[in-house]
């Protein structure tokens, strides 16, 4: 555990935490390299790899042709050949150009080779909306990838996870997808000076509460925590769970929370139909149905291509106010 | 700027050494010692006879589907014969004879074709990847391996196989581009066998050749008579040497013909004419090479019969071994073995659930 006294804590952005994790991985393991579009001199589309080129050189901070299937496929090959590639895809929307390599190859290689070849590949990509990047840059498809067996899917919401998940992912013999929310990169937060690797399988109870469980991940978690603070002033104590990993899904943690609070709200930036929120709702029904005092509720994004105009985009995404209002109703109606 | 001709410095060569009519260009013929010549012949014949036997087994319902190599023996055996053991071979899915040259056992191929993943895990030691079915996808893996070798200052090269159909896939272009930009030590072998299931080469691309596509990526491309084992060895040697010396990738277009079905689920009579097949039979890589070896005094009818019977016996032994091994394979629980290195809890639960269901079925049955 990291010490957390004020002297050992420091302030930094989520982006800085990602960059520190990249630098640490490259220093610790010669086989690690970063590959993607504009990761070198430009420093990455979201500036996560800024200044890494100076320390590690162009062989390890590799700018690639504009070719998603190309660099994901080459990353798979490099991993098969003994390297530990970190592939950066600018946004999750572009990852669809590499979906064949991710799903048909990376996720199946161990099976197709009869157990001979693992693919120790890490793919990082920006996900989510809220930055006015419109309908081809802003979707939250973390849950969609979580549908695929053979890979792991993690969504770091906190500075600690942005800093700590990468190294653990690199130690995993199988492919790991890391979804970094574009709305979090500028967020400042506290991190222990000696923060290091963290697990990538467990959900985390971020705030205890007795009245309702809010189950969330990625940028929606930050909104859930804000909502919980507002509700607390009104006497409603919401428990907040950060899923952290969408595959595997740590259902033990959220089921035990729901069985204590008897109510559950899932806040998921993904589209509602066929979403990870639907999966969690089903698990709650299967696991703790008789503990529920109210129907499970979900707050998701509007099922439309992401609008460009600021106010319309805001309206399409789950917001703090929506969470607060819905929980007031859930708690009062089923009191 | 005025309207002028843009000079492209690269050129596209063709190469044929041993013609279909048996004539030999001695100046171009690569130096190959007698033992290797006989080994090349043996593997080409093995590829043909193994195909025939597998086709019989499939028609008898003893194995599942498989993609035959008949007609393409020279374009597979020639390239892999110039690799060293530490080099990598990245196949698509129609390279059984190339895989066997690299050490894969016949029984492992039979086991795979019967639907058991043990076939892949028994594919032999060494740097050989398993088959990749999404067309063209494996070429990128070859590039990634090659670049990794280069980064680690290894002298190994990577050879990858694909067909004419794959050259229409984005992954072909992305792989060629990547390999050239990074100067990765990769040899791309396109087996242009004229058909992508039912789509002819002419519907795949308007280019005069596939080899010329290399020019756009800034790498050498050569169109080789893929039914001429000597030309395939010569072109592959050059390409492998170039890759090993740090001079980057090469595209070899092996012009050949899929003499048999696409897979056993296919009936080519629905889309191609018999006289086309017959015209290619006259260019058969095996008869041409056998004629050459006979001219050289390395082969006669008696020796051919000896190789034939040795191959027949070794195939029969492999079929027997495979059928024996498969008796203990096929436990449905095995499906959970290779999704992850370490089975996560939810998969363990699903595995246990299936085990209970199967047990109950057993009790009821």
Surface of A (179-208) touching B: CB under 8 A: 201
In a domain, A198, yes or no: no
Measured CA to CA, the distance from residue A45 to residue B23 in angstroms comes to 60
What are A305's two structure tokens? 């291509």
In a domain, A99, yes or no: yes
Same domain for A23 and A145?
yes
In a domain, A1, yes or no: no
Residue A126 or B123, more confident: A126
Residues contacting residue A106 through CB under 8 Å, at least 6 positions apart: A72, A76, A119, A121, A150, A151, A175
CB spacing of B134 vs A104 below 8 angstroms: yes
For residue A334, what pLDDT band results from cuts at 50, 70 and 90?
low
Quote the minimal CA–CA distance from A120 to chain B in Å.
10
Res A6: pLDDT: 60
Strand partners, A242: A204, A216
**N-terminal to C-terminal alpha carbon distance within chain B:** 83
In a domain, A149, yes or no: yes
Res B288: pLDDT: 96
- Residue A33: its chain B contacts at CB < 8 A? 151
Length of chain B: 365
Active site residue A137: yes
In this structure, are residues A3 and A192 in contact, taking their beta carbons and an 8 Å threshold? yes
Return the SS3 of A149: coil
**Please, what is the Cα angle at B132 between B224 and A105, to 5 degrees?**
135
Structural domain boundaries in chain B: 13-330, 332-365
pLDDT at A246 over 50: yes
Determine how β-strand A264-271 pairs with β-strand A297-301: parallel
Active site residue B271: yes
* Mean predicted confidence (pLDDT) in A308-314: 93
What are B38's two structure tokens? 């006989």
Per DSSP, B128 falls in state B
In this structure, are residues B197 and B255 in contact, taking their beta carbons and an 8 Å threshold? no
Return the SS3 of A307: coil
Q: How many CA atoms lie within 13 A of B1 on its CB side?
A: 4
For residue A1, what pLDDT band results from cuts at 50, 70 and 90?
very low
Measured CA to CA, the distance from residue B281 to residue B296 in angstroms comes to 23
Nearest CB to A73; choose among B131, B144, B151: B144
Same domain for A239 and A319?
yes
Same domain for A137 and A230?
no
Res B2: pLDDT: 84
Q: What CATH number is attached to the domain comprising A283?
A: 3.40.50.920
Tokens 């013929």 belong to residue: B29
In a domain, A199, yes or no: no
Q: Which residues in chain B come in under a pLDDT of 70?
A: 9, 122-125, 365
Res B5: pLDDT: 85
Ramachandran class of B259: left when φ > 0, alpha when ψ lies in -120 to 50, beta otherwise: alpha
May I ask the CATH architecture of the domain B13-330? Answer: 3-Layer(aba) Sandwich (3.40)
Same domain for A209 and A172?
no
- Residue B170: its chain A contacts at CB < 8 A? 69
Spacing of C-alpha B298 from chain mean position: 27
Tokens 């390279």 belong to residue: B95
Same domain for A68 and A158?
yes
Nearest CB to A115; choose among B151, B177, B337: B337
In a domain, A167, yes or no: yes
Mean of pLDDT over chain A: 95
Domain boundary among A170, A192, A214: A192
Same domain for A162 and A274?
no
ipTM reported for the complex surpasses 0.85:
yes
pLDDT at A147 over 60: yes
Neighbours of B20 (CB within 10 A): 16
For residue A189, what pLDDT band results from cuts at 50, 70 and 90?
very high
In a domain, A197, yes or no: no
Q: Please give the residue range of the domain that contains residue A278.
A: 204-333
Neighbours of B344 (CB within 10 A): 17
Same domain for A178 and A327?
no
Phi, psi values for residue B215, rounded to 5° = -55, -40
The closest of B248, B251, B269, B252 to B260, measured between CA atoms, is B269
* Mean predicted confidence (pLDDT) in A62-89: 97
Same domain for A227 and A291?
yes
Full-prediction pTM beyond 0.90?
yes
Same domain for A152 and A214?
no
Q: Catalytic: which of A137, A139, A159, A181? A: A137
The secondary structure of B198-222 as a DSSP string is: TEEGGGT--SS-STTHHHHHTS-EE
In a domain, A75, yes or no: yes
* Sign of the CA dihedral with B139 first, then B143, B145, and B146 last: positive
pLDDT at A2 over 80: no
Measured CA to CA, the distance from residue A16 to residue A164 in angstroms comes to 12
Domain boundary among A143, A168, A192: A192
Nearest residue in B to A103, CA atom: B134
Domain boundary among A192, A215, A248: A192
Identify each DSSP E strand in B193-334 by its residue range: 195-196, 199-200, 221-225, 250-255
pLDDT at A244 over 90: yes
Q: Peptide bond preceding A91: is omega within 30 degrees of 0, i.e. cis?
A: no
Nearest residue in A to B123, CA atom: A113
The closest of B57, B61, B43 to B104, measured between CA atoms, is B43
Residues contacting residue B313 through CB under 8 Å, at least 6 positions apart: none
Measured CA to CA, the distance from residue B229 to residue B148 in angstroms comes to 31
Same domain for A185 and A212?
no
The closest of A232, A208, A332, A213 to A283, measured between CA atoms, is A213
Q: What CATH number is attached to the domain comprising A52?
A: 3.40.50.970
Measured CA to CA, the distance from residue A95 to residue A72 in angstroms comes to 9
Number of domains composing chain A = 2
- Residue B181: its chain A contacts at CB < 8 A? 65
Same domain for A13 and A73?
yes
Res B8: pLDDT: 78
Same domain for A184 and A317?
no
In this structure, are residues B168 and B131 in contact, taking their beta carbons and an 8 Å threshold? no
Exposed e or buried b per residue across B36-64, where buried means at least 16 C-beta atoms within 10 angstroms of its C-beta: ebeebbebbbbbbbbbebbbebbeeebbe
Task: Give the C-alpha distances (Å, rounded to integers) separating A229 from A101, A130, A207, A238, B185.
Answer: 43, 22, 10, 8, 58
């Amino acid at each position: 555990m990291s010490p957390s006294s004020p002297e050992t804590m420091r302030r930094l952005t989520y982006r800085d935490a990602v960059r520190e994790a990249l630098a640490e991985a490259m220093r610790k393991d010669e086989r690690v390299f970063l590959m993607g579009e504009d990761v070198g001199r430009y420093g990455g589309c979201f500036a996560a790899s800024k200044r890494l080129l100076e320390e590690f050189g162009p062989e390890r901070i590799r700018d690639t042709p504009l070719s998603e299937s190309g660099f994901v496929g080459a990353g798979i090959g490099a991993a098969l050949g003994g390297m530990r590639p970190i592939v950066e895809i600018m946004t999750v929307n572009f990852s669809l150009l590499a979906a064949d390599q991710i799903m048909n190859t990376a996720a199946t290689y161990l099976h197709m080779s009869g157990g001979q070849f693992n693919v120790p590949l890490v793919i990082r990509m920006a996900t989510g909306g809220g930055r006015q990047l419109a309908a081809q840059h802003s979707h939250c498809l973390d849950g969609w990838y979580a549908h695929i067996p053979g890979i792991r899917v993690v969504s770091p919401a906190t500075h600690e996870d942005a800093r700590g998940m990468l190294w653990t992912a690199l130690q995993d013999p199988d492919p790991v997808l890391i979804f970094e929310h574009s709305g979090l990169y500028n967020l400042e937060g506290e991190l222990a000076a000696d923060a290091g690797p963290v697990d990538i399988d467990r959900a985390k109870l971020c705030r205890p509460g007795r009245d309702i469980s809010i189950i969330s991940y990625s940028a929606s978690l930050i909104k859930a925590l804000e909502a919980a603070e507002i509700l607390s002033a009104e006497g409603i104590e919401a428990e907040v769970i950060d899923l952290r990993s969408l595959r595997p899904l740590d259902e033990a943690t959220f089921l035990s929370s729901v069985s204590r609070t008897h109510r559950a709200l899932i806040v998921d930036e993904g589209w509602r139909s066929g979403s990870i929120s639907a999966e969690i709702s089903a698990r709650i029904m299967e696991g703790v149905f008789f503990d529920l005092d109210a129907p499970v509720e979900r707050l998701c994004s509007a099922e439309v291509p992401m609008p460009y105009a600021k106010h319309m985009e805001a309206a399409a995404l789950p917001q703090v106010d929506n969470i607060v209002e819905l929980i007031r109703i859930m708690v009062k109606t089923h009191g | 700027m005025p309207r002028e001709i843009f000079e492209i410095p690269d050129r596209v060569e063709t190469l044929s050494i041993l013609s279909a009519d048996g004539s030999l260009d001695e100046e171009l013929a690569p130096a190959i010692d007698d033992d290797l010549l006989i080994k090349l012949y043996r593997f080409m014949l093995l590829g043909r006879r193994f195909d025939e036997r597998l086709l019989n087994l499939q028609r008898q319902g003893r194995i599942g589907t498989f993609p035959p190599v008949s007609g393409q023996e020279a374009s597979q055996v020639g390239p892999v014969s110039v690799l060293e053991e530490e080099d990598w071979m990245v196949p698509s899915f129609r390279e059984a004879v190339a895989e066997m040259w690299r050490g894969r056992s016949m029984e492992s191929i039979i086991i795979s074709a019967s639907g058991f993943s043990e076939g892949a895990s028994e594919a032999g030691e060494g740097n050989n990847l398993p088959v990749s079915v999404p067309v063209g996808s494996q070429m990128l893996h070859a590039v990634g391996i090659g670049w990794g070798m280069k980064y680690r200052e290894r002298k190994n090269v990577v050879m990858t196989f694909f067909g004419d159909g794959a050259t229409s896939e984005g992954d072909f272009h992305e792989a060629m581009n990547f390999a050239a930009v990074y100067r990765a030590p990769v040899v791309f072998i396109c087996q242009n066998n004229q058909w992508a299931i039912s789509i002819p080469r002419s519907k795949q691309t308007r280019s005069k050749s596939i080899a010329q596509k290399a020019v756009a990526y800034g790498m050498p491309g050569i169109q080789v008579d893929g039914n001429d084992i000597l030309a395939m060895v010569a072109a592959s040697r050059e390409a492998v040497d170039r890759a090993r010396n740090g001079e980057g990738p090469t595209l070899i277009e092996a012009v050949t013909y899929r003499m048999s079905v696409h897979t056993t689920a296919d009936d080519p009579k629905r889309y191609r004419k018999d006289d086309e097949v017959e015209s290619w039979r006259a260019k058969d890589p095996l008869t041409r090479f056998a004629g050459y070896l006979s001219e050289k005094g390395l082969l006669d009818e008696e020796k051919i019969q000896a190789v034939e019977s040795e191959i027949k016996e070794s195939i029969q032994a492999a079929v027997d071994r495979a059928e024996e091994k498969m008796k203990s394979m096929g436990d449905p629980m095995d499906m959970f073995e290779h999704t992850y290195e370490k089975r996560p809890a939810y998969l363990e639960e699903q595995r246990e659930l299936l085990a209970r269901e199967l047990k109950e079925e057993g009790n009821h049955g």
